[in-house]
């Protein structure tokens, strides 16, 4: 249940702030790309196009945590 609350809060934040959403999308895309080295660039882009919504949904809390951490490092 706690995980669902974190995901919901993260999704809300991503929907309200386009700068954070863009950062999170790039973070999750790079992470997913690293997990699929066997795919060519074109194959990965096709995969990303069709799976992005579910990856963004499932990874929202992780991406928000990474975003916050990246901001702490910059300060």
Number of H helices, E strands in the chain: 3, 0
Find out whether 28 and 63 touch, Cβ atoms under 8 Å: yes
Neighbour-count burial of 60, counting CB atoms closer than 10 A to its CB (0-12 exposed, 13-18 middle, 19+ buried):
buried
Predicted confidence at residue 6, as pLDDT, reads 67
Report domain extents, the chain: 2-74
Average pLDDT, consecutive stretches of 10 residues, N- to C-terminus, the chain (75 residues) = 64 83 95 97 97 92 91 76
């Amino acid at each position: 249940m706690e995980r669902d609350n974190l995901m919901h809060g993260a999704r809300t934040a991503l929907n309200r702030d386009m700068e954070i959403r863009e950062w999170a999308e790039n973070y999750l895309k790079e992470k997913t790309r690293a997990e699929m080295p066997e795919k060519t660039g074109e194959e990965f882009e096709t995969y990303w196009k069709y799976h992005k919504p579910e990856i963004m949904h499932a990874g929202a809390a992780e991406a928000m945590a990474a975003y916050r951490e990246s901001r702490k490092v910059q300060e």
